[in-house]
Chain A
Amino acid sequence: MDRRMNQRAIWAIARKDIQAITANFQVWLPMLIIPILLGVVMPTVAVLVLAYAIDLSNPSEDVVTLLNWLEKIPSGGLKATLESYPIVNQRLIYLVANYMISSFFLIVPLMTASVVSADSFAGEKERGTLETLLFAPVDMLSLFVGKVLASLIPAVGLSLATFLLAAVTMNAAGWPLFHSLFFPNINWLPMILLVIPMISLLTILFNLFVSARVATFQAAYQMGGMVILPVLLLIGGQATGVIFLDTVVVTVIGLVLAVINLVVLQQVLKRLDRNLLFASQIK
């Protein structure tokens, strides 16, 4: 990119948008509920159930599915790691915590990125401030980058916080059984470093593009919701055993997302147009 960006303006825009979220608890409180439920409470309850509440001598249908899954793991690193745990409950917990949960966990950055970015341009339009913004000597690229950061930082930040909190509660819940840390394994490294930032960015790019075109937050949010479909496919795929999210698969997904982002970014940057954006906010 040869165009010089206006760093001061970029950070001013990002800071303003992030402060608008943090300053109003009616905005951020609902944003915390899903991450905490999906990212912390649900996995911790899963660990507790698998550790202390299942009857392996007379397993229920769900537990049988999990046990079958455990059986089908091909020999290799993961199999060896699992076999290093003497108790079956430990193996089940290790498998669920480090593999099954990851696709659910993706909903956290997705949700946060959606909510924040759908409001991005659409919110400015609704409040009549986009006009003032476009009258300022800020090039479209800087404006756009500021808006991307304003959504990316909360999405990745909240995902990271949820992840850390989940690590603490899950390990605590499993401690009497393990007496060591079982979460996270190496699988989460590409997840945290690659997949979560990339899926956040994709959601944001998509939302910003839509949000720049439609007039209201509502419309932007509904359109943006479509990004969740691939993740639901992933969850379904994993639940039925079609996809197994090991380190390689996670890394590949992350790289594919990165490539898609690059293509989308190029397209969006080509279409950045002050006049179009201005015209879209005239009531």
Chain B
Amino acid sequence: MNDNMIELSHVSKSFQNRSVLRDLTYSVRRGEILGFLGPNGSGKTTTIRLMNGVIRPDGGEIRIGGFDPIHDGDQIRRISGILTESAGFYQNMTGLQNLRFFADLYGVQDLKRPAELLEEFGLADAATKKVGTYSTGMKKRLGLAKALLHDPDILFLDEPTNGLDPEGIRMVLQQIAELNRRRGTTIILCSHLLQQLEVVCQRYVFLLGGAVIEEGTLAALEAKYNPTITLEVETDLTLAGGQYRGLPARRVDAGRLSFQLHSRDEVPAFLRALAQDANLYSASQVNQDLESLYFQIREAVKNG
């Protein structure tokens, strides 16, 4: 049996002669959490729609759980949960009414499930309030609850952390990781923000202009594109000329400086030297955000 839950090969799609996807090929293994990354307009949402059979590709082949979305869309939709960017709830209905409605559409047998999910996502108190009164974060959480109603094998999450506060982000990502661990759910997570996702995603696919420009684990990608390391240090060192011992440096705030190192191996020697020149209170490596990693990948693609 094929170990890939999701397979796209040479998929193309255009709207009114504007090409949105060109020759898109990638796959997701069963039980994997994939970060599907790219700037707005790179084709992430279009790909999700194609995979769910609500729009048709112009060319190429798609297999989701062995099904072709063009002919067996309902089969795919039955095993898939989706959180769209706008979540799309009925504003005049309560959270519970909305979930009950979608439980009917998804054929959920357990009638207690909607209430249980509201509880699980911290919405029990808001269950009988109209969704129109919900905050963005509450709507996102309700959207996630809706996506999980029928215990799907595949989860499509389009910008699941957009509009959430840090606490909400942590909660949503925890739920996603937990679900994957407990049930082996295959998850595609679309986002334009990398920082939050590296906690949960096992692999990344980078999309640009409707094609995959790079894919791999974060470690592999960072090793390939980003040999420099940013170190943020709490110290009373006085900086002169934007450099320290030949390394680029800048002031973050009154008590903190940031340094660019070429590799992880340089860190111990660097810190020893710094400790001799000034007081050193703490040091931490700053994670690359998507934009800089993305920029480097883009540069590499352009030059390569």
Residue interface bits B67-100, CB-to-A below 8 A is 1, else 0: 0000001110110001010111111110000000
Q: Count A/B pairs, Cβ under 8 Å.
A: 70
Interface size on A, residues (CB 8 A): 28
Distance between Cα atoms of A275 and B74 in the complex (Å) = 13
Provided the pairs A128-B86, A131-B84, A132-B89 are in contact, do residues A12 and B56 lie with their beta carbons within 8 angstroms?
Answer: no
B contact residues around A8 at 8 Å (CB): 104, 107
A contact residues around B77 at 8 Å (CB): 135-137
Interface size on B, residues (CB 8 A): 28
Contact B56 A131 (CB under 8 A): no
Contact A131 B106 (CB under 8 A): no
Partner of A20, one of B52, B74, B90, B102: B90
B contact residues around A12 at 8 Å (CB): 101, 104-105
- A24 (CB) vs chain B CBs: closest residue: B92
- A16 (CB) vs chain B CBs: closest residue: B101
Which residues of A180-234 are within 8 A (CB) of B? none
Which residues of A259-283 are within 8 A (CB) of B? 274-275, 278-279
Distance between Cα atoms of A8 and B108 in the complex (Å) = 10
Query: Which secondary structure dominates chain A's binding surface?
Result: helix
Residue interface bits B227-255, CB-to-A below 8 A is 1, else 0: 00000000000000000000000000000
Distance between Cα atoms of A16 and B87 in the complex (Å) = 18
B contact residues around A278 at 8 Å (CB): 49, 54-55
- B46 (CB) vs chain A CBs: closest residue: A282
Task: Please tell me if B53 contacts chain A, counting CB pairs below 8 Å.
Answer: yes
Which residues of A110-132 are within 8 A (CB) of B? 127-132
Partner of A16, one of B53, B75, B90, B107: B90
Task: Please tell me if A23 contacts chain B, counting CB pairs below 8 Å.
Answer: yes
Task: Please tell me if A34 contacts chain B, counting CB pairs below 8 Å.
Answer: no
Partner of B88, one of A13, A16, A20, A131: A131
Contact B106 A136 (CB under 8 A): yes
Write 11 A-B pairs (CB below 8 A) sorted by A numbering: A12-B101, A20-B92, A23-B92, A127-B90, A128-B86, A131-B84, A132-B84, A133-B105, A137-B78, A275-B55, A278-B49
Closest 8 CB pairs of A and B: A12-B104, A132-B88, A137-B77, A137-B78, A136-B105, A278-B54, A137-B74, A129-B88
